[in-house]
Amino acid sequence: MARKSKQEYMNQELPTWLNGLLIFGAAAGVIAAELKRPLRRRTQDKLRRNARNMAMSFMTAGTIAITEKPAAMALMRLGRKKGWGLLNMVRLPPALEVFVSVLLLDYTLYVWHYLTHKVPLLWRFHQVHHADLDLDASTALRFHALEMLFSVPWRSAQIFVFGISPLGLAVWQTMTLMEILFHHSNTKLPSGFERRLCYLIVTPRMHGIHHSIVQEETDSNWATIFSWPDFLHRTIRLNVPQKEITIGVPAFLNPKELTLGKLMTMPFTADRPSWNFRDNGKPVRSKPLPLPKTTLES
Ligand SMILES: [Zn+2]
């Protein structure tokens, strides 16, 4: 059998069976772990919340399929044909090229995530993800569909500028999906193990801090797969005791305002500062957090 050229190799996507096995395996694993060892106590009705999050995830997946995928693929083909884009200009062995692709895409997703919090228009949409009052694997898929639409130019630029191949993109997408299911999950890992693991990848306790109602805590831990961008930019915050975290956005803690219909219109109707409670006042910690910031509290 003839060996594949590098070009043919990089033009592949992950086989459907492998992709399915990895994603459904990760989903089944975290759902089982959430049932066995939950990290946080639920505040909402599980079935109703999961149904709402799943409905939103279908709209999100549909938006990605009809907008991001065709745009990304067209730019990828153009870049590869013309030899444009960083990784189309340097010759790396296939495995190294895939690894570098994952690092570059993951790092620039960190930048995008930061922007979704700091650009007011983008925050209006990303707020819908943060307004979930519980945090588990279903939150990982619960985004406003239009947030995905806004991310299409960013994703296209990532692919085009870095000269990402179909294989590099597919590996990053699968790793990202597995990681977001894991780090949003309500899984209580052994604390000593997680304390070390979060120096490499984003973990449930670490990302839970990003979903806190305290703004300085939400303004940290923006990373997705690997945690190094938060260490590099000193946006890491691991020293919040988990029992003291309330999940959500202070201005939207009333479940009656978080029905499916109200979540879909929230970006257009939100009429108050996110980080103040409805009756004013900001969530603050009564006592100082333990130091250093870079050690995970259990
Ligand atoms: Zn966020």
pLDDT tens for 221-253 read 999 999 999 999 999 999 999 999 999 999 999
Residue 173 has a pLDDT of: 96
> 36: CA distance to ligand 1 center in Å?
27
pLDDT of residue 2: 57
What is the 77 CA–ligand 1 centroid distance (Å)? 31
Q: What is the whole-number distance in angstroms between the Cα of residue 128 and the centre of ligand 1?
A: 10
d(CA 146, CA 129) in angstroms, rounded, equals: 12
Q: How far is the CA of 116 from the centre of ligand 1 (A)?
A: 7
Of the given ranges (56-65, 209-218, 281-290), which has the lowest mean pLDDT?
281-290
Cα 89 to ligand 1 centroid, rounded to whole Å: 34
**How would residue 3 be classed by pLDDT, with cut points 50, 70 and 90?**
low
**How many whole angstroms from 13 Cα to the centroid of ligand 1?**
29
pLDDT tens, residue by residue, 125-141 = 999 999 999 999 999 99
Residue 4 has pLDDT above 90, yes or no: no
pTM: 0.95
What pLDDT is attached to residue 236?
Answer: 97
CA of 113 to the centre of ligand 1 (A): 6
The rounded Å distance from CA 259 to ligand 1 centre is 20
The span from the first CA to the last CA of the chain, in angstroms, equals 54
> How far, in Å, are 145, 160, 172, 197, 242 from residue 205 at the CA level?
26, 34, 23, 11, 7
Is the CB of residue 162 less than 8 Å from the CB of residue 87?
A: yes
Per-residue pLDDT, 26: 96
If you measure from the C-alpha of residue 111 to the centroid of ligand 1, how many angstroms do you get, rounded to a whole number?
Answer: 11
